Structure 1
Amino acid sequence: MNPQQFGKVAVLMGGSSAERDVSLRSGQAVLNALISQGVDAFAFDPAERNLFDLKSLQTDRAFIALHGRGGEDGTIQGALEFLGLPYTGSGVLGSALAMDKVRCKELFKARGLSSAEFVVVEQGAQFDSQAIINEFGAVMVKPAHEGSSIGMAKAATASELNEAISNAFRFDDTVMLEKWITGREFTVTMISGVAQPIVEMVTPRGFYDYEAKYQANSTQYYCPAELSQSETENLQLLAQHAFKLVGASGWGRVDAMRDQAGQFYLLEVNTVPGMTEKSLVPMAAKANGMNFSQLVINILEQTL
């Protein structure tokens, strides 16, 4: 690897989404890794600088470490294409579709990929909380366009559901109510279209929420996950189908659950997953013999 081949690299981090803090940590880790490999890289926060400054700074390409809206939803990807700058990860369409949980689920359903049942609630629209609980039992409440489990909550009663929906509306005008799955939670990292070793996340909390991801010391990770070879291959194949279906490319992550009967269910596709010290993508890459610096370079090479 010749670091000069990349030219000047902007690591886009921060931004103005609800995931800003995580993005700053991811971006700093990526920046440190690039610099350690001799790449001419610098930090760039779109929330603090005009994106057109990238041209005056003579930037050659961008490593996107922005999470959430504005960075993971196709917005920054479209802007970079307008500027003529190569960038890491998925393009405009793949980013936009993957970020939209509702359209992701509709695509899974249309293609016959296993995913939990769901209903959608729009802000200002009428809905019957008790009827939803009667139909689904417990549900997972998710803002349609957020990541890092922000605004998510489990609801098992009508009153809990009303409270969870009200909180989710603080982050989004559209909220997805997904049938609760009791079982094990997994994630499959995708690098250059290849599924990496599966990670299983185990937390004493109700689910793998924001605190379990970034703050708690009680979360346990198993990589490779304790699955049979056939189960591993089935889940990796399911993840590859989902990743390709939404138009994602380059690198990313596909989250899934396995219920007590052994059935896998797709949750969502992440096109700019976390790259912090607790993140799952570096963990999966390490299990496949790739250290963090090699992972970052591998992702950046996809822009050449």
Structure 2
Amino acid sequence: MSSAAPTVAELGKVAVLMGGWAAERDVSLKSGAAVLAALQRRGVAVEAVDVGRDILDRLREGGFDRAFIALHGRGGEDGVIQGALDLLQLPYTGSGVLGSAIGMDKVRTKQIWQAMGIPTPGHAVIRRGPLDLADLAAHVGLPMAIKPAREGSTIGISRVDRQEEVAEACAAGFRHDDVLLAERWIQGEEYTVAVLNGRVLPMIRIEPAADFYDYAAKYHSNETQYHCPCGLAPEREQALGELALQAFEAVGATGWGRVDLMIDADGEAWLLEVNTIPGMTDHSLVPMAAAAAGIDFDELVWQILLGSLEGAR
């Protein structure tokens, strides 16, 4: 990327990709609408594109110069649309195929983190078929979380406190994926670290009104509290930010995104997952972190879009 700030004209016509066919379609439409409005206020030539199975034809015919990906979940956050855009030689925001695919797969993410010594809760992989409930409970420990390996926004997640609850939790998870992750439940405080073009933004501490930060708490509840400053000592926050950035880059993620983590009662940090295309709604965390860093929503969207320039990924 050149040192001179690019002009709106140099960015050309931008497609904001939103919607799609994943379970997070509704959230994606809200994110896309917010991004679209921000780019319009900047004077960018921009068009909303609700992504369907005909997306390649629509992008070929649309005369677009680049894409802002506001898709969440499968088909948009897992490397599929990124591969299609690479095929079309159409620059886009966020992570490439590899980082998107790995970041979407919680099992692969944890395997990489474990190999690198990055702290993440103990886990087991569950596939369809006979399941030894006692062995699973003994291996992972109770309580545990059971969740789809390749979904976002806590879709399909269950907290399991007793061995007898495992089967029901697996049934709920299998409605969304053929592979599940059973993960040791970390009791403590939840934090998130936003990353923007190699920069770590101020950490946010999440205080849900319910037992844990589920889909309803993320997108519908007005009782969830977000604390930024997060309350940690500055040197502790800096160290955790550096760890989160290392974890983000370890899976091949680039541009912008978010890393979620827990801090247990003993003060130990445990990284949970990477989100390579976080929400951009009025309940979303990256805009909150950006605001705490003095970056308003329109500037945040602009900086993410600049990541689509050649050589930025």
TM-score of the two chains, using structure 1 as the length reference: 0.98
- TM-fit CA distance, 1:132: 2.5
Matched, 1:122 2:127: yes
Matched, 1:133 2:117: no
- TM-fit CA distance, 1:48: 6.5
CA offsets, 1:66-121, max 9 Å, x none? 00000000000000000010000000000000000000000010000001000010
Give the match for residue 272 of structure 1. Answer: 277
CA offsets, 1:120-159, max 9 Å, x none? 10012x2222333344011011100000000001001122
Contact 1:187/1:199, CA 8 A, preserved across alignment: yes
Give the match for residue 245 of structure 1. Answer: 250
- For 2:164, what is the secondary structure of its paired residue? helix
- CA distance in 2 between counterparts of 1:220 and 1:48 reads 38
- CA distance in 2 between counterparts of 1:190 and 1:43 reads 25
Percent of aligned pairs with the same amino acid = 50
Give the match for residue 79 of structure 2. Answer: 74
**From 93, 103, 128, the counterpart of 1:98:** 103
TM-score of the two chains, using structure 2 as the length reference: 0.95
Structure 1: state its 5+ residue gaps. none
1:184-263 equivalent positions in 2, closer than 5 A: 184-263=189-268
| Paired amino acid for 1:127 | L
- TM-fit CA distance, 1:226: 0.6
| Paired amino acid for 1:189 | A
Could you say what the CA RMSD is over the residues aligned between the two structures, in angstroms? 1.0
| Paired amino acid for 2:61 | S
- CA distance in 2 between counterparts of 1:81 and 1:48 reads 17
Contact 1:94/1:248, CA 8 A, preserved across alignment: yes
| Paired amino acid for 1:199 | I
- For 1:76, what is the secondary structure of its paired residue? helix
- For 1:5, what is the secondary structure of its paired residue? helix
1:29-108 equivalent positions in 2, closer than 5 A: 29-47=34-52, 49-108=54-113
- For 2:186, what is the secondary structure of its paired residue? coil
Give the match for residue 165 of structure 2. Answer: 160
Write out the 4+ residue segments of structure 1 that deviate beyond 4 Å after TM superposition: none
